[in-house]
Chains A and B, each alone.
Chain A
Amino acid sequence: MKQKIELAFIVDDDEIYVFGLKKMLSIHNICKNILIFSNGYEALKYIKPLLSSDTGLPDVILLDINMPIMDGWQFLDEFIKIKPSIQKKITIYMVSSSINPADINKAKSYEEVSDYFVKPIRLNDLSKILEE
């Protein structure tokens, strides 16, 4: 495996999944730091004040689709708006239980989304993330 991910965001409202994912990431020593947000709005609220700074922004976001308040798609739409003022390269992965082709195709239509993983996420998927 290559270099560790400095900071990863998990944006997901399913705390059981989040627990498992955190565990997996730590067992395989993939990330140095992980921040959890229960929906898109929470994540955005965190990111906005840090736009101009170099620190605190994630390298990777693992984004769920179905969430209350602000779902994955709404988060992406908001993210696109603030993206020009972000210096750092942030890689976004959609992670969802949905195998609905409409969702998969929609994810592909976003330039900002690198890949779409179907839950449960596997070790292979995580290796891919590291390789990016």
Chain B
Amino acid sequence: MSSNQITSNHQAIQHTEPRAETAWVFKFIPRLSPEERKNIETYLNITRKYKDEINELALEDLNDHPIWGPIIKQMPKEMMDARNDLSYNLQIGAVVRDEWEAYLTDLVQQGVQYAQMGILFKDWYEIVAQVRKYLFPILHKEFPNQPNRIIDTLSGMDTFIDLGMTVIGESYIEEKRKITEKQKIEILEQKQLTQRTRSLIEASLDPFITTDIKGKITDVNEAMVKATGLSRERLLSSNFAEHFSEPLQAFKGFELVFEEKGYVSNFPLQLRHKDGSVRDVLYNASIYRDENGEALGVFAAARDITEQKKASMRLEQLNHEQKETIELVGEQNKRLINFAHIVSHNLRSHSGNIGMLLNLYQEEENPEDKAALIAHALQASNRLSETITNLNDVVSVQLNINEQRSKINLYQAIEKSLEIVAPDLKSIEAKVSIDVPKDILIEYVASYLDSILLNMITNCIKYQHPDKKLEVRFHLNTSLNHTILEISDNGLGIDLDKHGNKIFGMYNTFHEHKESRGLGLFITKNQVEAMGGKIEVESEVNKGTTFKIYIS
């Protein structure tokens, strides 16, 4: 049995696809002399002739061999025979008809296969040595007393086996090179993959951490280092929960990962920086496991939503501001339309009266009545100009919004307005108290403040209760957000259920009073609003009225 036959036998069991990359083997095609050819042929034919004997000897010898024993034993006889026939045909074909390609390719395939099985190249030499041993007695039997023929046949065998061993050896080397290359590539790829993953994790702006199953941090990325202000070394081995403003809540999120589906998503937490600042994050965490499904730890990524939150707050604020602007514009628009109607109404009523009176004047014949009509027409004309003056007052409030503010002592301003109406106050024995700190300064347009205060006190006098002595109280109410001047009286009061919507309207009066122009509160409101404040009223009929002027 030749070494080639043994390899061939195994080929029959472990059938593999022929390899395409065996072209290198053709450089080993030998140039045999006719003599060498003949010697090899003789060797092949003798091993063929005595194959059964050789096999028997081999079986005996190699039965206990750690490598070859199991291979020979597990091979059925028919298969071994078939393989031996194939090998013999390939060998003869190569040696006799120069069909080396088929033979060498087959050899390489087997070499590769044995290499892949883990059989060492040195194991082959044992086989070769054995074959030599078996062949001596056979050759002596075949060529008795012909030592030259024995030597020639052995020489042919050596030539052929050397060739076979060289090719198998090369295929071993080739295979090993391929395996090493493959491993190298695999190792490289693995390394690249790890690097890529790592750089992906590092490139992320989101803080990443991995922890063991107890929550101890096993790895962090740069974003986590930045977000906490702690070094990687300090973070590693610390418990992840301590880096959140609410560690208990963080740990609850951690437990949820194990309790539920193996992950949590968008769990809101606050990541703590060592400088005390916090960032709002949404945590997404999941368990990672070994190949047996055993939990190794938790991978967690925190999405920083601080900026998002800021943006949404800013957006909310903008929306709010926009809404306020729209409301303000709407309010101003409404006021303008209202003002246009007021102007139209007031001018029409006077001009209409003049027209009516002049028509009547033409028809009237009685001189006395004619004089009366003219007198009334004159009065109407006066009222027309008065109305125009009033309207001008209102318009100027709207126009002078940018008038210069100055620092005004509120207490002194109130005293000044009281001085103007002092004779009236004295004649009705009114009691006025000023509950305002004497050193309070407000930033206001001086003429507006005077106008507002005078209008307030004048209203108090006009609408005093006939059965009570007038009491007026100025009171400054300062809170965190507002400075409010409250002016209260014990006068007639206004039925706000009836007139509430009209009290600050133009030409609306609510009492039978000769001096009511219905203009004062309209102008006051405009002035207060022009200063960025507002005016409110509380009142009860027969009890009194309180106006609240928001100064800021």
Contacts and interface: CB of A to CB of B under 8 A. Distances in A.
Given A66-B345, A97-B348, A99-B348, A27 B510 contact: no
**Residue with the highest number of chain A CB atoms closer than 10 Å, among B360, B383, B510, B518:** B360
B192 to A, nearest CB: 79
Interface stretch (A3-11, A15-23, A55-63): A15-23
Interface in B339-384: 341, 344-346, 348-349, 352-353, 355-357, 360, 363-364, 369, 372-373, 376, 379-380, 383
Nearest to B498: A74
A99 B512 contact: no
Nearest to A19: B376
Contact of B356 (A20, A69, A74): A20
Interface in A1-57: 14, 16-17, 19-21, 23-24, 27, 38-39
Contacts of A98: 341, 344-345, 348
Contacts of A97: 345-346, 348-349, 352
Contacts of A99: 344-345, 348
**Residue with the highest number of chain B CB atoms closer than 10 Å, among A19, A20, A74, A98:** A20
A23 B379 CA distance: 16
A106 B108 CA distance: 110
**Residue with the highest number of chain A CB atoms closer than 10 Å, among B353, B363, B516:** B353
B507 interface: yes
B381 to A, nearest CB: 10
B511 interface: yes
B63 interface: no
B507 A20 contact: no
Contacts of B512: 38-39, 68-69
Interface residues of B, number: 31
A85 interface: no
A68 B349 contact: no
B518 A68 contact: yes
A98 B373 CA distance: 24
A17 B349 contact: yes
B458 interface: no
A66 to B, nearest CB: 7
A97 B341 CA distance: 10
A44 to B, nearest CB: 13
Given A16-B383, A119-B348, A27 B360 contact: yes
A40 to B, nearest CB: 11
Contact of A17 (B356, B363, B369): B356
Given A16-B380, A19-B376, A68-B509, A119 B344 contact: no
Contacts of A21: 356
12 contacts: A16-B353, A20-B360, A20-B376, A66-B345, A66-B508, A68-B510, A68-B516, A69-B510, A97-B346, A97-B352, A98-B341, A98-B344
Interface of B: 341, 344-346, 348-349, 352-353, 355-357, 360, 363-364, 369, 372-373, 376, 379-380, 383, 498, 507-513, 516, 518
Interface of A: 14, 16-17, 19-21, 23-24, 27, 38-39, 66, 68-69, 74, 96-100, 118-121
Given A119-B356, A120-B355, 19 more contacts: A14-B349, A14-B353, A16-B353, A16-B379, A16-B380, A17-B352, A20-B373, A23-B364, A23-B373, A66-B345, A69-B511, A69-B512, A97-B346, A98-B341, A98-B345, A100-B344, A119-B348, A120-B352, A121-B356
